[in-house]
């Protein structure tokens, strides 16, 4: 009984900490959260953060009010973008609000992220072209975490957004 109570307390503490910090507002907070959740802060994490924040704004939604489906290509080093989207939206596999699709994105796409507002099913599809891979890799090699964050947040044309019906 004590063990399960301690586990529940630890889980509640962890979820509270994630929920509190997931509303990070400064670049330093996003960097710290991304590194803690993912294990490092490469350029793909802020790509996901940027997509997640953009989706929340477009949908007039708050974190936890969206569901996400992530399509990953073989060209991406890993599904790091999904971790960035997760921390920005607080979507998670455990809540069944973040799902990894078994299908691959279309040719020419490194990743596709579909974000829908849970109540209305209104949503947007974000396509990250694989032509961004060399630039993102260069930023990983040449910039520190803050430089990566800034470069991604200021990048023009980083992804294509289309509305869903």
CATH of the domain at 160: 3.30.1330.130
Domain count, the chain: 1
Please give the mean pLDDT across all residues of the chain. 87
Predicted local confidence at residue 39, as pLDDT: 87
Whole-structure pTM value: 0.84
Give the helix ranges, DSSP H, for 22-161.
Answer: 27-38, 44-58, 80-89, 133-142, 145-154
Give residues with Cβ within 8 angstroms of 119, minimum separation 6.
65
Q: What is the pLDDT of residues 58-81, one digit of tens each?
A: 999 999 999 999 999 988 778 899
Q: What is the pLDDT of residues 3-61, one digit of tens each?
A: 444 443 433 444 444 444 445 689 999 999 999 988 889 999 999 999 999 999 999 99
Position 93 pLDDT exceeds 50: yes
Q: What does the pLDDT average to over 132-152?
A: 97
Predicted local confidence at residue 99, as pLDDT: 96
Choice between 1 and 112, residue whose per-residue pLDDT is larger: 112
Q: Looking at the chain, how many residues does it have?
A: 165
Range of the domain at 100: 2-164
Give residues with Cβ within 8 angstroms of 24, minimum separation 6.
30, 32, 33, 87
């Amino acid at each position: 009984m004590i063990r399960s109570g301690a586990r529940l307390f630890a889980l509640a503490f962890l979820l509270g900490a994630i929920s509190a910090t997931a509303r990070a507002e400064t670049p330093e907070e996003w960097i710290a959260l991304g590194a803690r959740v993912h294990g490092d802060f490469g350029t793909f994490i802020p790509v996901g953060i940027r997509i997640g924040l953009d989706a929340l704004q477009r949908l007039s939604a708050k974190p936890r009010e969206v569901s996400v489906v992530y399509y990953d290509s073989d060209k991406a080093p890993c599904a790091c973008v999904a971790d960035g989207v997760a921390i920005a939206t607080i979507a998670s596999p455990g809540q069944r609000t973040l799902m990894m699709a078994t299908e691959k994105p279309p040719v020419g796409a490194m990743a596709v992220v579909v974000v829908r507002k849970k109540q209305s099913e209104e949503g947007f599809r974000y396509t990250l072209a694989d032509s961004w891979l060399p630039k993102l890799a260069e930023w990983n090699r040449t910039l520190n975490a803050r430089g990566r964050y800034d470069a991604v947040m200021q990048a023009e044309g980083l992804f294509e957004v289309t509305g869903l019906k």
